[in-house]
Amino acid sequence: MASVSFRVRAAEPGDVPALMRLKLLLAEGEDSGHAVRATAADWLRDGFGSRAGFTAFVAACGNPVTGDGIVGMATCSRRLITGWNGPVLFLQDLFVEPAYRDHGVARALMARVAALACTLGSPIVELTVRADNPAQDFYLRTGFQPLPQCLTYVLAGPALEALAQRDKQDLALAG
């Protein structure tokens, strides 16, 4: 396997089209492309500037196929957990173009995320993966550990709306 030369850097506003392209490829690989609703304007607003809600890193190598040279990305955000002093870093997305896998790109992106966690004073990098995600072995090799005592629950769709409506009803009754 030929080696690939790349560098990992902080994403810039001009990288948004490439980030969105990689996000869509990631979502399509998970059969959840329909769930990606963010626009370029959303990514610019939420990922850059003084009020950025997430941090993105890209791996670039001058890819002639895509034209933008970006072949991988990692996005993460800070979460505050009551009782802890400082943020926890939550890895949202990690994706590398299939042709560039097994060249150290994902590990380099994860190293940059780990460095950010250390800079922020975050004691952990947290991630949630689907049970069928083939990258689980990579995460284990990188040093992540599953927390079997933890489960992820999601409130969404009609159940979310029904519970929110309950708040309005309870507020009206408390009047």
Neighbours of 101 (CB within 10 A): 16
Task: Note down pLDDT in tens along the chain; length 175 residues.
Answer: 567 789 999 999 999 999 999 999 998 888 777 888 899 999 999 999 888 999 999 999 865 555 579 999 999 999 998 888 889 999 999 999 999 999 999 999 999 999 999 999 999 999 999 888 889 999 999 999 999 898 888 899 999 999 999 887 765 666 5
User: Is domain 7-147 annotated with CATH 3.20.80.10?
Assistant: no
Domain ranges of the chain: 7-147
Q: Is the pTM value of this prediction over 0.95?
A: no
End-to-end CA distance of the chain: 69
Asked if 103 contacts 3 with a C-beta cutoff of 8 angstroms, the reply is yes
Calpha distance 69→84 (Å, rounded): 39
